[in-house]
Amino acid sequence: MNDMPRRSQNSSLLNMREILEMTTFSRQQVYRLMREGAFPESRDIGCRRAVWHATDLLAWMLEKVEARHDGQFIGLSLDDRFVTFKSVTKLTGLSFQSIGRMEEHGAFPQRIRVSSERIVWLEREVLAWIGKRHRRRNDGSAGWGPVAASL
């Protein structure tokens, strides 16, 4: 949520803290999903240290984003991350029902299902939606309006 990049685009390995930040999962969820074959495998680089290849995580994230079939996605970088409903409500002040209605009308970024029990949004899309709402409010435009296809 800050403007500083979290990682260099040249970084090729991600540690657990970075995985948790980008995915919203807990450590236990990451390992459970790995056991189920539903998350990229880690690589051991020491007796108590594991890392993930950034390309593996970005490919997994892209697969989840593309699964929503809304045709509004361009690409991912290491600065992208998923945010939970709790974070989205803090950012927007909207309820789950309001978000659902707006999603149905194409007026809010579509949710992303990352596991059987977790839905998330791409932080970049939510922040772009907030920025667009602020610009509309300042310009005097009314209504929800559809989310712009290009971010």
Question: Of the ranges 50-64, 67-81, 111-125, which one carries the lowest mean pLDDT score?
Answer: 67-81
Alpha helices per DSSP H over the chain:
16-23, 27-35, 54-66, 85-92, 96-104, 123-139
The pLDDT of residue 53 is above 80: yes
Q: In terms of C-beta distances under 8 Å and separation of at least 24 residues, what long-range contacts does 88-92 make, across chains too?
A: 88/121, 88/126, 91/1, 91/126, 91/127, 91/130, 92/126, 92/129, 92/130
Q: Structure tokens of 135?
A: 């610009």
Mean pLDDT of the chain: 85
Mean pLDDT of 7-23: 82
Q: Which pLDDT does position 44 carry in this prediction? A: 93
Q: Which pLDDT does position 143 carry in this prediction? A: 54
The pLDDT of residue 95 is above 60: yes
DSSP symbols for 7-18: S-TT--EE-HHH
Question: Higher pLDDT residue, 28 or 11?
Answer: 28
The pLDDT of residue 21 is above 60: yes
